[in-house]
């Protein structure tokens, strides 16, 4: 029975190429049946090696850089760009005494790669509000159901220390962050407090596009190595195809998990983020 990649190539082929692939698959099946431990062409007798090599080359994967690879690079650029513009945001706050609080605001791409970090000292006032987004079309006001949240932090003199407006937050809301900081300032709560958030629509886009690129990249590399007989087919099927799927899922999944826990994350999450 043909291997998965051989059967896929046969199913996709037409005409004479399909006939040639079927004959090549039959030859490889016979060779694998006679020599069960065959992983490389050199594992069969020398007299059979030319035929097995030609049959293997019939299924060779086209590893040249082309339009498909260019599209995948665009996917990667857009995915990482979206994760850079709207990274996972982490607030680590503590009371400072005399009605003040301090916060470390850290922004991390997928929650893993630091992008920016700011220390805000002497927070004396918090302002947060949320509302619906309004758009104007032909002189009419259309009220959207998209919720926009705003948070502004300032010192005792009213000087703005930090502010932001976001839509579609997953994890801690701006109002929760503001209430937590006020509780630290008043002494009603003891720090440090950790709050995490991310813009989930952007995270969906960046996760899908980044996954598409790395999944294709690992498969591309694995197929090229397999066709050049640098690795056996079993290694490709068991390692490269699976790692190409799992690795980007783990990277993007980390951002989803820490953001999902962001309204009240366990203590170990701060250690994972390097903010323990």
- Profile the chain (276 residues) by mean pLDDT over runs of 10 residues: 78 81 86 80 81 76 68 90 95 94 96 94 92 64 71 94 94 95 93 93 94 85 73 77 83 94 92 82
Buried b / exposed e over 145-156, threshold 16 CB at 10 Å, is eeebbbbbbbee
Q: What is the pLDDT of residue 64?
A: 59
Number of domains in the chain: 2
Question: Is there a single domain that holds both residue 185 and residue 113?
Answer: yes
153 within a domain of the structure (yes/no): yes
Q: What is the pLDDT of residue 253?
A: 93
Question: Is there a single domain that holds both residue 158 and residue 116?
Answer: yes
Question: Is there a single domain that holds both residue 95 and residue 187?
Answer: yes
Closest by CA to 54, choosing from 75, 35, 33, 31, is 31
Q: What is the rounded distance in angstroms from the CA atom of residue 126 to the CA atom of residue 180?
A: 10
HSE-CB at 274 with a 13 A cutoff on CA atoms is: 9
175 within a domain of the structure (yes/no): yes
Q: What is the pLDDT of residue 140?
A: 65
Q: What is the pLDDT of residue 31?
A: 86
Question: Is there a single domain that holds both residue 145 and residue 99?
Answer: yes
260 within a domain of the structure (yes/no): no
Q: What is the pLDDT of residue 178?
A: 96
268 within a domain of the structure (yes/no): no
263 within a domain of the structure (yes/no): no
Longest dimension (CA), the chain: 88
Owning domain of residue 49: 1-60
Q: What is the rounded distance in angstroms from the CA atom of residue 134 to the CA atom of residue 143?
A: 5
Q: Which residue has the tokens 């590893």?
A: 63
Question: Is there a single domain that holds both residue 48 and residue 102?
Answer: no
146 within a domain of the structure (yes/no): yes
Say what the pTM is: 0.73
158 within a domain of the structure (yes/no): yes
Last residue of a domain, one of 191, 219, 242: 191
Closest by CA to 229, choosing from 65, 76, 1, 49, is 49
Q: What is the pLDDT of residue 135?
A: 61
Buried b / exposed e over 235-253, threshold 16 CB at 10 Å, is ebeeebbebbeeebbebbe
78 within a domain of the structure (yes/no): no
SS (H, E, C) the chain: CCCHHHHHHHHHCCHHHHHHHHHHHHHHHHHHHHCCCCCCHHHCCCCCHHHHHHHHHHCCCCCCCCHHHHHHHHHHHHHHHHHHHCCEEEEEEEEEECCEEEEEEEEEECCCEEEEEEEEEEECEEEEEEEEEEEEECCEEEEEEEEEEEEEEECCCCCEEEEEEEECEEECCHHHHHHHHHHHHHCCCCCCEEEEEEEHHHHHHHHHHHHHHHHHHHHHHHHHHHHCCCCCHHHHHHHHHHHHHHHHHHHHHHHHHHHHCCCCCCHHHHHHCCCC
Q: What is the pLDDT of residue 171?
A: 95
């Amino acid at each position: 029975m043909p291997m998965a990649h051989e059967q896929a190539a046969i199913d996709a082929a037409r005409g004479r190429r399909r006939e040639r692939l079927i004959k090549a698959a039959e030859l490889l099946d016979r060779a694998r049946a006679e020599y069960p431990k065959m992983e490389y062409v050199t594992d069969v007798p020398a007299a059979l090696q030319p035929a097995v090599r030609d049959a293997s080359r019939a299924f060779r994967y086209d590893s040249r850089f082309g339009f498909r690879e260019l599209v995948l690079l665009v996917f990667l650029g857009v995915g990482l760009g979206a994760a850079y513009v709207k990274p996972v945001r982490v607030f680590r706050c503590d009371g400072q005494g005399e009605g003040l609080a301090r916060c470390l605001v850290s922004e991390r791409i997928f929650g893993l790669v630091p992008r920016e970090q700011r220390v805000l000292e002497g927070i004396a006032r918090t302002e947060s509000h949320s509302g619906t987004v309004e758009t104007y079309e032909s002189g009419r006001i259309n009220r959207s159901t998209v919720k926009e949240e705003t948070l502004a932090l300032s010192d005792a003199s009213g000087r703005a220390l930090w502010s932001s407006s976001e839509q579609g937050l997953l994890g801690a809301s701006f109002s929760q962050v503001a209430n937590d900081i006020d509780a630290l300032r008043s002494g009603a709560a003891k720090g440090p407090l950790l709050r995490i958030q991310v813009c989930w629509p952007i995270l969906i886009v960046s996760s899908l596009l980044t996954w598409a690129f790395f999944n294709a990249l690992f498969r591309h590399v694995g197929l090229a190595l397999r066709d050049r007989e640098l690795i056996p087919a079993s290694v490709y099927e068991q390692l490269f195809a699976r790692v190409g799927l799992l690795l980007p899922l783990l990277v993007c999944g980390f951002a989803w998990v820490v953001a999902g826990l962001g309204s009240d994350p366990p203590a170990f999450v701060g250690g994972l983020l390097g903010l323990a």
